[in-house]
Amino acid sequence: MTSIHPVILCGGIGSRLWPRSRAAMPKPFLPLVGERTLFEATLDRCADGANFAAPVVVTGAQHLAHVEAQGSAGMQVIVEPMGKNTAPAIALAAHRLPADAIMLVCPSDHHIANTPAFVAAAQAAAKLAADDWMVSFGIEPKAPETGFGYIKQAEPIPGGYRIERFVEKPDLERARAFLAEGGYFWNGGIFAFRAGAFLAELARHRPDMAAQVAQAVELGKAEGARFHPDEQAFGATAGDSVDYAVMENTARAAVVPVDMGWSDIGNWEALRDARACDDCGNHAAGWVELVDCSNVMVETDGPRVSVIGLENVVVVVDGDDVLITTTAGAQKVGKLGGAVNQ
Amino acid sequence: MTSIHPVILCGGIGSRLWPRSRAAMPKPFLPLVGERTLFEATLDRCADGANFAAPVVVTGAQHLAHVEAQGSAGMQVIVEPMGKNTAPAIALAAHRLPADAIMLVCPSDHHIANTPAFVAAAQAAAKLAADDWMVSFGIEPKAPETGFGYIKQAEPIPGGYRIERFVEKPDLERARAFLAEGGYFWNGGIFAFRAGAFLAELARHRPDMAAQVAQAVELGKAEGARFHPDEQAFGATAGDSVDYAVMENTARAAVVPVDMGWSDIGNWEALRDARACDDCGNHAAGWVELVDCSNVMVETDGPRVSVIGLENVVVVVDGDDVLITTTAGAQKVGKLGGAVNQ
């Protein structure tokens, strides 16, 4: 079959993983699970030449050095002059690929434990995308999470389902009802499109955005493996997510179910859960002594950390910052003074 | 009345207050409550010339620099060649004072909120000591603490009670029974003796110890305000506490009740309790952000500490060490690797 073109989006800074993730060294470029950084692991998953073409990375100037330091051979990099959310970023990549290229859009800062399951889903999604479906990966939900959007399936199609609707982050009661009812998936932000079909759908539902991005590409400049969209044209583009701009409007939305050990590593609790633990559910990285602790994760970049008697707590020592949070409080990390004022 | 001679014992290193208290800068010499160090505050309490003579400090060579840096005018310092527990230390001081001097033996690392109550008890104890009673301060118990020894009162004598018996640290059930029964006090390690009477009692109950200390003084050397007992003679002395060597054996043990806001600052929980707190029971010293916390104490000597969602936890950042303990776990701090191997 045709190669799949990975399109890796390298945008956010992961402020809920402060103080390890910082503006100067954000989440995708850190080895948060295992030895490889999340960005490297994202490239690794798409490195099999039998299935995948060389990747296209869409990023900002502030992350360019990290991307090029950790990137893979043959990688193209599109350097956004500013962030405009995912729909324009994907449109940039679509313009830089042949119209019949199958794009697999992946965030650069998620963890996926089961690569074969990921590849199988990518193949199924690619087949649907070749028929001009706008395809979303549907992550099998493991718990009534309130931090994710949900996708409700409609009737089956080969390799997946039509999408009945997208659901914004629900409250706990609704999330529980979704799991009880079945047919709901987490929206993990992974998509497959035929490049030309994506641009056609964008032009249909967001003609101004589509036109601005097209102009930014037309006036842009290639520089070796880098491509710089025109700053003025791209700056005039309306920012929006691919969910709002395309997925919720298209008549051809499809979902491919996948169970691949996925985590968005959205906060310290999610990271703790993604890591291997000892018998007490503890995880320690660095010079750490734990006494009477359970489900405690500690990581330190130098100072010795001694912990007595805690449960369900995350401790992070990074430079001149010490973070201590309950796992239940992990969602609030991004609003701490240290995370906001960096 | 006769002046009271404060005898300040500066021995322990306070390993349960690690990492703030360290071998190189131990507990008595740190400003743990308020601006003054515990040692300075101990001297301050006995600084009133109307009641007190100049202090005698008994310490080890490893603490001498701290003692002399923080000490008061007129202070004498007895430099122990090694630690032999409290009975020999008090005997050294008794030898260096006139036989009819009234000694008030005080640890250097306790906190006392109510100085007038302390002074009143010292005066009552001094009167009994002048009659050759071996006098212990009896701290009014505030809770069924299992970390202190208890003193059971017998019949009243002027200014206090005879002591029926000393009780080792009880378990919780016994401690509760003591409080319910009444007539029990915490043994706070504060004593009053006539110097000559103390030496006589020591000679009666521990003749070898008494003889060795007498020889160590006889062969010792004065050097300005310092006195150095003879190392060989003092080294041959059996070590023991004043409780075991004298108080539990003497026929003339007395207790003077006192309610003076006393704490031995024996661990981080006790220190938290001794400090002023905000409305949530939190106490922060240094660059600290607390979110959804109650009864949390944080102190940091530099790094910013951000805490979310904890209750009844103490966080200490000191140099290259970070300690995080529940208040319930505070007793175990002294056994941490960092506290043991310093």
Q: Supply the pLDDT for residue B225.
A: 96
Inter-axis angle of helices A86-95 and A207-218, nearest 10:
50
Q: If you average pLDDT over residues A168-174, what whole number do you get?
A: 95
Quick check: A327 pLDDT over 90? yes
pLDDT digits (tens, 9 = 90+) for A141-164: 999 999 899 999 999 999 999 999
pLDDT digits (tens, 9 = 90+) for B277-291: 777 789 999 999 999
Q: Supply the pLDDT for residue B1.
A: 56
Q: Do B315 and A322 touch (CB under 8 A)?
A: yes
Closest-CA distance, B336 to chain A, in angstroms, reads 7
- Cα B121–B123–B125 angle (5° rounding)? 65
Q: If you average pLDDT over residues A55-64, what whole number do you get?
A: 96
Q: Do B304 and A332 touch (CB under 8 A)?
A: no
Q: If you average pLDDT over residues B317-342, what whole number do you get?
A: 93
B313: contact with A, CB 8 A cutoff: yes
Quick check: B17 pLDDT over 60? yes
Torsion, Cα of A176, A118, A77, A12 (10° steps):
20
Q: Kindly indicate the confidence band of residue A277, based on its pLDDT and cuts at 50, 70 and 90.
A: confident
pLDDT digits (tens, 9 = 90+) for B165-200: 999 999 999 999 999 999 999 999 999 999 999 999
pLDDT digits (tens, 9 = 90+) for B85-102: 999 999 999 999 999 999
Q: Supply the pLDDT for residue B73.
A: 87
Query: What is the complex's ipTM, to 2 decimals?
Result: 0.85
Quick check: A21 pLDDT over 90? yes
Nearest to A308 among B309, B320, B333 (CB): B333
Q: Which residue has the tokens 């310093």?
A: B342
Q: If you average pLDDT over residues B237-263, what whole number do you get?
A: 97
Rounded Cα distance, A94 and A210, in Å: 11
Q: What is the mean pLDDT of chain B?
A: 95
Q: Percentage of chain B with pLDDT > 90?
A: 92
E strand or H helix that includes residue A104: strand A102-107
Domains and CATH numbers, chain B: 4-263 (3.90.550.10), 274-340 (no CATH)
pLDDT digits (tens, 9 = 90+) for B126-146: 999 999 999 999 999 999 999
A309: contact with B, CB 8 A cutoff: yes
pTM: 0.87
State the burial class of residue B227 (Cβ atoms within 10 Å of its Cβ: 0-12, 13-18, 19+).
buried
Note the Cα A118 to chain centre separation in Å.
14
Which A residues in the span 13-42 are in contact with B, Cβ-Cβ below 8 Å? Answer: 19
Rounded Cα distance, A208 and A227, in Å: 22
Q: Kindly indicate the confidence band of residue A226, based on its pLDDT and cuts at 50, 70 and 90.
A: very high
Q: Supply the pLDDT for residue A280.
A: 78
Q: Do A329 and B313 touch (CB under 8 A)?
A: no
| Residue B19 preceded by cis peptide, ω within 30 | yes
Q: Supply the pLDDT for residue A1.
A: 56
Task: Give the CB-side neighbour count of residue A285, counting CA atoms within 13 A.
Answer: 20
Closest-CA distance, A335 to chain B, in angstroms, reads 10
**What residue type is assigned to position B109 of the chain?**
D
Q: Percentage of chain B with pLDDT > 70?
A: 100
Q: Supply the pLDDT for residue B280.
A: 78
Chain A residues with CB under 8 Å of B291 CB are 329, 332, 336
CB count, 10 Å around CB of A88?
Answer: 29
